[in-house]
Amino acid sequence: GENVEQHPSTLSVQEGDSAVIKCTYSDSASNYFPWYKQELGKRPQLIIDIRSNVGEKKDQRIAVTLNKTAKHFSLHITETQPEDSAVYFCAAWQTGNQFYFGTGTSLTVIP
Amino acid sequence: GAVVSQHPSRVICKSGTSVKIECRSLDFQATTMFWYRQFPKKSLMLMATSNEGSKATYEQGVEKDKFLINHASLTLSTLTVTSAHPEDSSFYICSARDRTIGQGTFFGQGTRLTVV
């Protein structure tokens, strides 16, 4: 089955700086890669996603890049704000299968 | 966007009793729903995949007789924790997949179960 690894597990950045979270996956059949933000005690919220036929996607301050050859994808948050503080999860999906989640990254943005 | 409603959000029960958690897709049909368990500061652990009209598929190590899943309609799946024990205390989250939005999956609010 698929194995998704996520790094780092914790990340602290100064407000205004950028944050990068990386994930690797093992199964080349995975073709959809969403990123979720989870605030304490709340449900994960989809913040951005990318499909395997695209190399990069951007939505305002958030971007995701995908390298299919190397089987890794990254979340980039620019101009971080305190409200970006949360736990972020990456996931990999195969059509007709299930989501495989990374272990999560606790991001703290220091004002 | 698609909405998934999970109920209750919090429940406290006594050891030995059963608790039912509901997961509803409010504005779309979900042929597949997923049930996760999440420990504090940990990732989501898939417990089972629930397909409408068929038996749920459980992940290895998850007791199907303890965690009963029913997916009776395209908008409702239920998880029943039977004979609950304190070690079952956890945060349980469901998600539902909306085929009309690619592979989009949307999460319920989660249920904080405390067994005393």
What is the C-alpha to C-alpha distance for residues A43 and A57, in angstroms, rounded to an integer?
Answer: 24
Q: What pLDDT is stored for residue A34 in this prediction?
A: 93
CB B34 within 8 A of CB B56: no
pLDDT of B1 > 70? The answer is no
Chain A residues in contact with B34 (beta carbon < 8 A):
98-99
Stretch A65-71: mean pLDDT, rounded? Answer: 95
CB contact under 8 A, B44 and A89: yes
* Average of per-residue pLDDT across B90-112: 84
Spatial CB neighbours of A60, under 8 Å, sequence gap ≥ 6: none
Alpha-carbon B98 to chain mean position: 16
Given a cut of 90, whether residue A109 has pLDDT beyond it is yes
Looking at the complex, does the CB of residue B93 fall below 8 Å from at least one CB of chain A? yes
Which residues of A are less than 8 Å from B104 in CB distance? 34, 46, 49
**SS3 (DSSP) at B42:** coil
Place B91 in a pLDDT band, splitting at 50, 70 and 90: very high
State how far the alpha carbon of B44 is from the alpha carbons of A3, A14, A32, B27, B91, in Å: 14, 28, 18, 24, 10
Quote the pLDDT of residue B100.
65
Peptide bond into A111 cis (omega under 30): no
